[in-house]
Chain A
Amino acid sequence: MISKEQVLKSAGLAKIKLTQAEEDKFSKELSGIIAYVDELKKVDTRGVEPVAHAIGLEDAFRKDSKEPNIHIPQGRELLNQAPKTKDGYVVVPRILADL
């Protein structure tokens, strides 16, 4: 089960707002999904190491050189997609006053 409060808290953490109608709809739907995934509680996992990555690749190092290894896209083109820029920086509203 997942309560409406838990849904709202998770939505808030994810910076998502729900309308009144959506609160009820999502709570009902997510409860159904959580009830379904709860079957995992019955699986015996004693002594099992968790898997985060199926292939188990570890420590992929880039070449140790001063040349850029990764093809870096045009910064300007990326910057152009921001709502507001100034002198090559993304502009955001000041945040300290809001804290």
Chain B
Amino acid sequence: MEISDMTIKKTRELLGKKEVSASELVSYYIANIEKENKDLNAYLSVFNDDALKQAKKIDERIEQGEEIGLLGGIPVAIKDNILVEGKIATAGSKILENYISAYDATVVSRLEAAGAIILGKTNLDEFAMGSSCEQSAFGPTKNPRDRTYVPGGSSGGSACAVAGDMAMAALGSDTGGSIRQPASFCGIVGLKPTYGRVSRFGLMAMASSLDQIGPMAKNVYDAALIFSVISGQDENDATTLPEGSFEMDDKIFSGDINGLKIGLPKEYFIEGLDDNVRGIIEKSVKDLEARGAVIKPVSLPHAANGLATYYLIMPAEVSANLARYDGIRYGYSVARENSPSQSSSGHSALRASDSMRPSVWDIFVESRSQGFGDEVRRRIILGTFALSSGYYDAYYHKAQLVRALIRQDFVDTFKNVDVLLTPTSPTLPFKLGDRMQDPLSMYLADVYTVSANLAGIPGISVNAGNVNGLPVGCQFLASFRREDLLFRVAHVYEQIVNN
């Protein structure tokens, strides 16, 4: 069997039988990365030596007949806004170009404790702000299915690494769709867990009431397996849920969805939905019905307000969270020795103060203005405006009220159905460069995914098929802590699509 076709489950089986070794797996992916990454730009850094060393240790343990953990020997990629101790974590930003992580994120220590091998860190829109992976300070990532298209974002590097056969699975982060939409665009599986089920300790904060880390994988089972490893309460993240840990259970993957009630929210099937996407999603509904699911039309009356609500709450939280990048404590700073006094981006030179040395205010302003890219600055300004005196009630507070209504829509709907089925994205993947000149058109790519973050519920994107070689994703949503239902239906669904 080719490694490119192997799932985590199969790989663990073959490792146990010694038909493949962890060293072979790591060498295989490193060779692919060396061959493809120059063009695809999925990885920002690769840990060849550490990964091979780790693989050797796993192989020795297999040789000794020792346990190697649930993910023993599995090579994975980590989005570059998640900390791996001793390694650079850029978050796709110039402001953290040389920032070295002082500790491991909880998800990273849990993956490593389960035996996973970290191959490297993947590209993203700067600080996870974007829907195409083009907003990275280190260049765009390409879609491995067609290299003239975007891979989606912001976890585009992780999606590209998995879809491009440069990792067996990956971690992403999802604030408004940043796992599900790139999973959809690259034809893989991506899970945004219930808010609070996965620790965010060691994830660079973007919008703290929305951010959640989740797995990106080749199939639903693999995603669930990784979720079982990384989920659960963490004393270092006070927003993690008590008893939040997910346990694998074979019953979830029995293939039985008889009687499962699937809701189709009518607000998701309106104008703006690409006909190709609509056709594929409507077919999926029929297929699931044929497998015994009960399809029910439902309504989420405030769904249409999701994107506007998101684009107030998210930038408001962004403006607060990114205040920490001040040029004083870490990251890019004009106060650093040998730093250019004149920026290349057109900003004027530091104000020549009396002492000819920059004031602390100059350090703040110049470091931030030179260190942040366009989209990050746009969102910080927007968020600052939405929170500012005189506009707070009209914007931020109003968005919090509508957020309550959006959340309540889901609570009410899940009294009547088990899961919701929607497209992940209203359109097919778009061409590189197509939406870079119009921020609002880029934001519209998130229209079907943001509500899950606002409500805190889990969502999964699974490949539904292809149009002219471009993947289309199907999204399932469930109530709080009901990832088991997502896995159950998505597992059946991917079997239908694959056959």
Contact = CB atoms under 8 A, between A and B. Distances in A.
A60 B402 contact: no
B80 interface: no
B393 to A, nearest CB: 11
Interface stretch (B19-27, B119-127, B303-311): B303-311
Contact of A78 (B235, B330, B337): B330
Contacts of A63: 235
B384 A13 contact: yes
A65 to B, nearest CB: 11
Contact of A73 (B103, B209, B327): B103
B239 A95 contact: no
A54 B455 contact: yes
B404 A49 contact: yes
B365 A15 contact: yes
Given A16-B380, A81-B330, A52 B209 contact: yes
A92 B360 contact: yes
Given A36-B308, A78-B102, A92 B405 contact: no
B360 to A, nearest CB: 5
Interface residues of B, number: 78
A82 B329 CA distance: 4
A10 B357 contact: no
Interface string B216-256: 00000000000000000001101101000000000000000
Given A40-B402, A54-B455, A78-B102, A83 B236 contact: no
B329 A14 contact: no
A83 B337 contact: yes
A93 B363 contact: yes
A51 B404 contact: yes
Interface of A: 2, 6-7, 9-11, 13-19, 21, 26, 29-30, 32-34, 36-41, 43, 45, 48-55, 57, 60, 62-63, 69-71, 73-74, 77-78, 81-84, 90, 92-93, 95, 98
Interface of B: 99-100, 102-103, 194-196, 209-210, 235-236, 238-239, 241, 302, 305, 307-309, 311-312, 319, 323, 326-331, 333, 335-337, 339, 345-347, 357-361, 363-366, 368-369, 372, 377-378, 380-382, 384-385, 388, 394-395, 397-405, 407, 439-440, 443, 453-457, 480
26 contacts: A11-B377, A14-B319, A14-B323, A16-B365, A16-B368, A17-B347, A19-B346, A19-B347, A32-B439, A40-B309, A41-B398, A43-B398, A43-B401, A45-B405, A48-B401, A50-B401, A50-B403, A54-B454, A60-B238, A60-B239, A63-B235, A70-B235, A81-B99, A82-B329, A92-B363, A98-B359
